[in-house]
């Protein structure tokens, strides 16, 4: 080594030490901590929360704080040591105590074994803070929950608040706690540290937040989930979020597949999006809504990301809703251009819809023709620039317009931002255990928020392989497809799941480990069939288009029958009293996944933002002490009979338990004597009112819950999303009552 090289090396080392010294002084750290922190920033681009957040008051400024973290890798302990108080005691797993890579950390840090209860107690008693690692599993095991309780007792004894931390990205390091098959390795992964607010168990849970119940172990679990959620970078557009996913999972091969046999890797998906996006950019203005009239196929994701790359808004059109609803959507969102596929239009027999769109003055762009016209130079540009969107966007910008189902009235345009959708995917990932080992079978249409966020964006952002199937109505074909592709996860609604079970062989869904159901209540019979025949557990969630869509979900470790689970991390709720409802109230929700606002047909193209960030769900719910949410019914789906409020949803639940193999819808019609009366529309044949009355008494229902009329139909009308079409069910009931009321006395 020459003298010049030695001099340069000494100068570089001196500059490094000076920078580390300054960093240590800025953050009140020791010099070894400063050296380590600077190294993590330079090599692994460690992103830290604002120092004010990391050091914010815990309510116990002179006492200890218990720092909790899910240990994703051996890097976690080093990261936490480099930013926390120099006197903090770090409990280490056996792997970390023996790891050569952490020798320097152990040399300077105050450490003890994870099972050293005496060291933990002594540190807290002396006023020193501690860090405590937990397994990386999203779903805590019974032993982990027991450790939460033990730690909670110590926290109460020493007056120590909790704070959860999460080192995002460390799971992909060479020292990952996960198998390589679940977490692809990277030599220098990017790290992002998230810190939760402080939790003092002496303080009661916030009364408006049903996601954190009074049980200590639940509050600790929620705190860790909140830190995990916070480690996601939500301050970027969806195109860049997909690019980040490509960096993490892109070497795993094809990640997207459809029923046409097409397969796409992340890179091919993004290259295609850049190529199409350049054309979309030329035919529209920044921020303009482009209509998407496509089925579940690879092309819909390429198109969706192309729109995001171009800085436009994807307006997902419900092709099952009919021409009138689509024209209403076009007008409401001021859509001038609709992106469609000739092959799809012909196969789905949607020529009438196309004619209506063209008569309305909208331009239809046929993607087959557009794709064929893209030249070699355009493809080369897309290949060279696939890592960057064509137009930068802010996370708060609109990304998607989805239209409410109209199951109870006129559809509205729900405007969701990039952050809304990304946040909801991250919230779900913090509660549901998924990995690159999984394959998700999505039959739910992407014009529905559950099918778009849950069935398409969530899996692709987290490395889960995705198989698109074009229609959920193919009850005989879908089980056979499942047998062929062997998915481990499936999303669905009760209506669709029960239909598949009727035609499926016992081995068709044998590969499934998890089914997430939403959009409507899951019947006990459906849950039983999938558990007994296929060994698959159905977990029920709850949401709405306005929350992107998931708001609450059950999980393997936190499950309560008869509920839709607990709020997702980062969300809060409040209940407002409703006249005639003694238990529960009208649900309002807020959180990072709550929409920007509505577009209404009365004021086309105008965004009506939420007031104070709270959304009125229109649901009547009850929340128990542990945060489990039970849906009592829609506010619009209560009948006022003789002055009492009767939930039509509760009536459906009662009838479903009596006749579990049939499908039912309860609606209300006008009654001259009692105000309203209940009409049951059912596929049960025969459905005897006397049998229902006798069962209601055993069920514990009041006489007012017994339907006054029963209407038999061959099938209950449903929307394209799988929800019961109550508008049509109401028309059926009204027509039946009108036809049968004349000439006889109605009870």
Answer yes or no: is pLDDT of 489 > 50: yes
For all residues of the chain together, what is the average pLDDT? 87
Give the burial class of 632: count Cβ atoms within 10 A of its Cβ; 0-12 exposed, 13-18 middle, 19 or more buried.
Answer: buried
Give per-residue pLDDT as tens, 190-201: 999 999 999 988
Q: What is the mean pLDDT of residues 125-131?
A: 92
Give per-residue pLDDT as tens, 278-296: 999 999 999 999 999 999 9
CA dihedral 244, 276, 289, 470 (to 10 degrees): -80
pLDDT band at 626; cut points 50, 70, 90: confident
Give per-residue pLDDT as tens, 305-330: 999 999 999 999 998 888 888 998 99
State the sign of the Cα–Cα–Cα–Cα dihedral 434, 438, 444, 447: positive
Q: Is 538 helix (H, G, I), strand (E, B) or coil?
A: strand
Q: What is the mean pLDDT of residues 697-707?
A: 73
Q: Is residue 129 within 8 Å of residue 63, measured between CB atoms?
A: no
Beta-sheet pairing, 130-134 with 110-113: unpaired
pLDDT of residue 644: 63
Answer yes or no: is pLDDT of 212 > 60: no
Could you give the C-alpha distances from 21 to 33, 34, 47, 267, 348, in angstroms and in order? 9, 6, 19, 42, 68
C-alpha gyration radius of the chain: 28
pLDDT band at 406; cut points 50, 70, 90: low
Question: Minimum mean pLDDT among 407-416, 572-581, 635-644, 670-679: which range?
Answer: 635-644
Find the DSSP H helices in 440-491: 449, 458-461, 477-485
pLDDT of residue 382: 94
The DSSP output letter for 362 is P
Query: What is the spatial distance between Cα 522 and Cα 52, in angstroms, rounded to a whole number?
Result: 45
For 204, other C-beta atoms within 10 Å of its C-beta total: 9
pLDDT band at 53; cut points 50, 70, 90: low
pLDDT of residue 741: 61
Q: Is residue 492 within 8 Å of residue 517, measured between CB atoms?
A: yes
Question: Minimum mean pLDDT among 54-63, 167-176, 453-462: which range?
Answer: 54-63
Give per-residue pLDDT as tens, 553-609: 998 888 888 888 999 999 999 998 877 677 778 899 999 999 999 999 888 999 999
Q: What is the mean pLDDT of residues 402-422?
A: 82
Answer yes or no: is pLDDT of 656 > 50: yes
pLDDT of residue 61: 64
Instruction: Enumerate residues 6+ apart whose C-beta is below 8 A from 347.
Output: none
Query: What is the spatial distance between Cα 181 and Cα 161, in angstroms, rounded to a whole number?
Result: 37
pLDDT of residue 722: 66
pLDDT of residue 325: 86
Task: Give domain limits for the chain.
Answer: 1-44, 45-230, 238-631, 642-741
Q: Which of 220-229, 402-411, 501-510 has the highest mean pLDDT?
A: 220-229
**CATH number for region 642-741:** 3.30.300.30
pLDDT of residue 56: 55
Query: What is the spatial distance between Cα 368 and Cα 374, in angstroms, rounded to a whole number?
Result: 10
Question: Minimum mean pLDDT among 401-410, 425-434, 622-631, 738-747: which range?
Answer: 738-747
321 preceded by a cis bond (ω within 30 of 0): no
pLDDT of residue 721: 59
Query: What is the spatial distance between Cα 294 and Cα 367, in angstroms, rounded to a whole number?
Result: 10
Q: What percent of the chain has pLDDT over 90?
A: 50
pLDDT of residue 746: 40
- Please give the residue that has the higher pLDDT: either 737 or 345: 345
State the sign of the Cα–Cα–Cα–Cα dihedral 169, 172, 177, 182: positive
pLDDT band at 16; cut points 50, 70, 90: confident
**What's the CATH fold of domain 238-631?**
Rossmann fold (3.40.50)
Q: Is 240 helix (H, G, I), strand (E, B) or coil?
A: helix
Answer yes or no: is pLDDT of 54 > 70: no
Q: At what angle do helices 648-658 and 524-534 cross, to 10 degrees?
A: 50
Give per-residue pLDDT as tens, 327-351: 989 999 999 999 999 999 999 999 9
Which residues in 59-75 are b (16+ Cβ under 10 Å) and which e?
Answer: ebeeebbbbbbbbbbbb
Answer yes or no: is pLDDT of 211 > 60: no
pLDDT of residue 743: 47
- The string of DSSP codes covering 380-409 is HHHHHTTTS-SS---TTSEEEEEE---SSS
pLDDT of residue 463: 94
Give per-residue pLDDT as tens, 365-375: 999 999 999 99
Q: Is 164 helix (H, G, I), strand (E, B) or coil?
A: strand
Q: Is residue 294 within 8 Å of residue 505, measured between CB atoms?
A: no
């Amino acid at each position: 080594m020459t003298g010049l090289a030695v001099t340069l090396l000494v100068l570089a080392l001196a500059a490094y030490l000076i920078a580390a010294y300054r960093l240590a002084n800025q953050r009140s750290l020791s010099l070894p901590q400063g050296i380590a922190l600077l190294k993590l920033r330079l090599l692994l681009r460690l992103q830290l929360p604002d120092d004010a957040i990391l050091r914010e008051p815990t309510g116990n400024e002179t006492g200890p704080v218990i720092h909790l973290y899910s240990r994703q890798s051996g890097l976690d302990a080093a990261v936490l040591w480099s930013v926390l108080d120099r006197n903090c005691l770090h409990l280490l797993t056996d792997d970390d105590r023996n790891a050569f890579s952490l020798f320097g950390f152990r040399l300077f840090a105050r450490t003890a074994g994870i099972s050293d209860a005496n060291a933990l107690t002594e540190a807290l008693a002396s006023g020193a803070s501690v860090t405590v690692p937990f397994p990386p599993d999203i779903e805590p095991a019974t032993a982990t929950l027991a450790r939460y309780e033990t730690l909670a007792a110590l926290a109460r004894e020493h007056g120590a608040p909790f704070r959860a931390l999460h080192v995002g990205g460390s799971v992909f390091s060479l020292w990952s706690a996960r198998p390589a098959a679940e977490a692809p390795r990277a030599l220098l992964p990017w790290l992002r540290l998230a810190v939760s607010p402080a939790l003092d168990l002496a303080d009661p849970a916030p009364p408006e937040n049903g996601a954190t119940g009074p049980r200590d172990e639940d509050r600790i679990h929620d705190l860790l989930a909140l830190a995990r959620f916070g480690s996601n970078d939500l301050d970027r557009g969806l195109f860049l979020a997909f690019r980040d996913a490509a960096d993490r999972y892109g070497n795993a091969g094809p990640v997207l597949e459809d029923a046409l046999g097409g397969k796409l890797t992340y890179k091919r998906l993004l290259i295609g999006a850049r190529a199409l996006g350049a054309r979309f950019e030329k035919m529209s203005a920044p921020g303009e809504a482009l209509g998407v009239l496509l089925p579940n196929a690879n092309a819909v994701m390429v198109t969706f990301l192309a729109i995001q790359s171009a800085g436009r808004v994807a307006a997902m059109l419900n092709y099952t809703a009919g021409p009138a609803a689509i024209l209403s959507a076009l007008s409401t969102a001021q859509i001038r251009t609709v992106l469609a596929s000739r092959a799809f239009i012909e196969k789905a027999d949607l020529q009438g819809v196309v004619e209506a769109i063209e008569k309305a003055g909208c331009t239809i762009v046929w993607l087959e023709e557009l794709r064929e016209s893209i030249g070699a130079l355009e493809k080369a540009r897309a290949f060279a620039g696939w890592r960057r969107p064509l137009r930068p966007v802010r996370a708060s910008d609109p990304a998607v317009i989805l239209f409410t189902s109209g199951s109870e009235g006129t559809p509205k345009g729900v405007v969701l931002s990039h952050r809304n959708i990304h946040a909801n995917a991250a919230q779900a990932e913090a509660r549901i255990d998924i990995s690159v080992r999984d394959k998700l079978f999505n039959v739910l249409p992407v014009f529905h928020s559950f099918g778009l966020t849950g069935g398409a964006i969530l899996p692709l952002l987290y490395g889960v392989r995705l198989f698109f199937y074009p229609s959920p109505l193919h009850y005989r074909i879908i089980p056979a497809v499942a047998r062929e592709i062997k998915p481990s996860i499936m999303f669905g609604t009760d209506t669709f799941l029960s239909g598949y079970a009727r035609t499926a062989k016992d081995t068709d869904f044998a590969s499934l480990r998890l089914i997430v159901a939403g959009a409507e209540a899951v019947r006990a019979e459906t849950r039983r069939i999938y558990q007994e025949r296929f060994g698959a557990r159905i977990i029920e969630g709850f949401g709405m288009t306005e929350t992107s869509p998931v708001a609450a979900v059950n999980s393997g470790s936190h499950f309560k029958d008869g509920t839709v689970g607990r709020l997702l991390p980062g969300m809060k709720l409040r209940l407002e009293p409703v006249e005639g409802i003694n238990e529960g109230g009208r649900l309002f929700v807020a959180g990072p996944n709550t929409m920007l606002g509505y577009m209404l047909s009365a004021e086309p193209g105008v965004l009506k933002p939420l007031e104070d960030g709270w959304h009125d769900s229109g649901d009547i719910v009850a929340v128990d002490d542990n945060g489990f949410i039970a849906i009592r019914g829609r506010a619009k789906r209560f009948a006022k009979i003789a002055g009492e409020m009767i939930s039509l949803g509760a009536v459906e639940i009662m009838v479903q338990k009596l006749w579990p193999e049939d499908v039912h819808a309860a609606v209300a019609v006008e009654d001259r004597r009692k105000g309203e009366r209940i009409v049951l529309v059912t596929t049960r044949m025969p459905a005897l009112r006397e049998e229902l009355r006798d069962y209601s008494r055993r069920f514990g229902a009041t006489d007012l819950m017994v339907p006054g009329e029963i209407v038999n139909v061959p099938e209950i009308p449903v929307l394209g999303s799988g929800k019961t079409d109550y508008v049509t069910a109401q028309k059926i009931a009204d027509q039946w009552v009108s036809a049968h009321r004349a000439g006889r006395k109605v009870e």
